[in-house]
């Protein structure tokens, strides 16, 4: 068995400015506010909704489950049961730090529902100033059942605030051709190029509206579907938001090269939206599985992962086959150690990803790595390592969201 290495709490890829941090949202935001004051362009907050529930995530185990998309291992995501005073204290700290982080033209989107909407609106008014309140966006969707005790709750609220009057919101970047709609009292016409348009006269003036002209969204977003149970986007995280929702926010409220922050990043939708649209990103979440979601969604991103040392008693074995310029590292066995998961989840099926690389000053830099994904559900358990690598290390990411490091120096 390989010797475990302790004290590794960071990974880096390409030295990028983007980061994913495992930790408390308030503490992380306050620390970031000291490091990056006034440097963040967009903050999206999707905090707990004070539901009183415990939310789960369903992890996939082995190639078969990654291929089918069905996860059999249920793990805790987060407990949404903070007492009211603690909840408001948390949100006060996060919003205060968010204001310090935002650039003068920056924007914050605060996602909530009927439970805490009124409380968060008043708190945000206090911190950002009621004059800087821009929108209450209604995200409405049609999914699930219908209650007989009250009208079905089929919307969530997104409160939009600026830091100053010089905010940078460019809704034209998310304009869409509207769906067919009633045009009462308007006359239909076709121009010389075959484009359909409608005209109406008001106060003696003729107005013309082309049918195919993109129009920015209003403050009611009814064209972004809630994720259905079988949606291919689903990663097994209970409260995952659709990528289209976050892309609309990212594209309208930031520009290429800007920093986008999500202090409750969960399954990483905001991070993917930022990365896909060439923004830098910072994500924070208490659940260590956020790192694994980020690995799946941010392939090729230059970023740093920060996390506490994982607890557990795993064991790992490997073999090195020497070559001329490269050696081949063969991962042979991995055991989870003592934990509360089904006994059949052992061996290499318990590995979500692995890498070989080096460690310096508590930071791991991969040389070769693989992680399971929908596109590549099956891992290759052989990796190439340059022959002259000093103090080579194996990193294991297992199905519980833990990361462990093992020395290859003495085999």
Contact 245, 224 (CB under 8 A): yes
Q: What is the pLDDT of residues 203-241, one digit of tens each?
A: 888 888 787 788 899 999 999 998 887 788 888 898 999
3-state secondary structure of 385: strand
3-state secondary structure of 166: coil
Rg (CA), the chain: 25
- Rounded distance between C-alpha atoms, residue 91 and residue 45, angstroms: 10
**Whether the model pTM is above 0.85:** yes
- Rounded distance between C-alpha atoms, residue 249 and residue 254, angstroms: 8
Residue with tokens 């290759």, as numbered in its chain: 380
User: What ranges make up the beta strands (E) of 92-248?
Assistant: 102-112, 133-140, 155-162, 187-190, 196-202, 205-210, 220-221
Indicate whether 184 pLDDT > 70. Answer: no
Which domains, from first to last, does the chain contain?
Answer: 17-175+218-301 (3.40.50.150), 177-213 (no CATH), 315-407 (2.60.40)
Q: In what order do the strands lie in the sheet with 382-386?
A: 315-321, 326-335, 382-386
Q: What's the whole-number mean pLDDT along residues 47-56?
A: 94
Percent of the chain with pLDDT over 70: 98
Of 171-180, 302-311, 396-405, minimum mean pLDDT range? 171-180
Q: What are phi and psi of 133, to 5 degrees?
A: -75, 125
Q: What is the pLDDT of residues 107-124, one digit of tens each?
A: 999 999 999 999 999 999
Burial of residue 373 (CB within 10 Å: 0-12, 13-18, 19+) is middle
For β-strands 326-335 and 315-321, DSSP reports them as: antiparallel
Report which of 1, 8, 30 is spatially closest to residue 308, judged by C-alpha positions: 8
User: What ranges make up the beta strands (E) of 66-170?
Assistant: 73-79, 102-112, 133-140, 155-162
Indicate whether 343 pLDDT > 80. Answer: no
Confidence of residue 69 (pLDDT cuts 50, 70, 90): confident
């Amino acid at each position: 068995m390989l010797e475990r290495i302790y004290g590794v709490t960071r990974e880096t890829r390409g030295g990028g400015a983007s980061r994913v941090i495992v930790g408390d949202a308030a503490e992380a935001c306050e620390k970031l506010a000291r490091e990056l004051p006034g440097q963040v362009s967009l903050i999206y907050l999707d905090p707990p909704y004070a539901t009183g529930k415990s939310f789960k995530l369903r992890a996939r185990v082995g190639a078969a489950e990654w291929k089918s998309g069905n996860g059999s291992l249920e793990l805790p995501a987060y407990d949404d049961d903070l007492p009211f005073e603690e909840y408001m204290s948390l949100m006060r700290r996060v919003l205060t730090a968010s204001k310090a982080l935002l650039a003068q033209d920056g924007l914050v989107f605060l996602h909530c529902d009927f439970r805490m909407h009124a409380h968060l609106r008043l708190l945000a008014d206090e911190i950002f100033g009621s004059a800087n309140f821009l929108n209450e966006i209604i995200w409405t969707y049609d999914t699930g059942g219908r209650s007989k005790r009250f009208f079905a709750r089929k919307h969530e609220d997104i409160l939009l605030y600026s830091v100053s009057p010089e905010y940078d919101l460019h809704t034209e970047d998310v304009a869409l051709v509207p769906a067919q709609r009633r045009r009462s009292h308007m006359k239909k016409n076709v121009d010389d190029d075959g484009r359909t348009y409608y005209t109406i006269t008001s106060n003696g003036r003729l107005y013309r509206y082309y049918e195919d002209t993109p129009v920015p969204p209003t403050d009611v977003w009814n064209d972004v579907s809630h994720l259905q149970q079988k949606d291919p986007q689903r990663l097994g995280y209970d409260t995952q938001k659709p990528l289209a929702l976050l892309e609309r926010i990212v594209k309208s409220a930031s520009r290429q090269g800007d920093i986008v922050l999500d202090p409750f990043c969960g399954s990483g939708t905001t991070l993917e939206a930022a990365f896909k649209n060439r923004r830098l990103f910072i994500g924070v979440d208490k659940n260590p599985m956020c790192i694994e979601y980020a690995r799946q969604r941010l392939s090729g991103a230059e970023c740093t992962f920060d996390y506490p040392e994982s607890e557990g008693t795993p064991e790992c074995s490997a073999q090195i086959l020497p070559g001329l310029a490269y050696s081949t590292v063969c991962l042979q066995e991995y055991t989870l150690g003592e934990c509360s998961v089904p006994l059949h989840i052992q061996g290499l099926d318990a590995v979500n990803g692995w890498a070989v690389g080096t460690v310096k000053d508590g930071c791991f830099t991969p040389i070769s790595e693989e992680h399971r994904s929908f596109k590549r559900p099956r891992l290759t358990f052989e990796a190439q390592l340059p022959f002259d690598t000093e103090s080579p290390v194996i990193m294991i990411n297992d199905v519980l969201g833990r990361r462990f490091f093992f020395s290859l120096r003495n085999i």
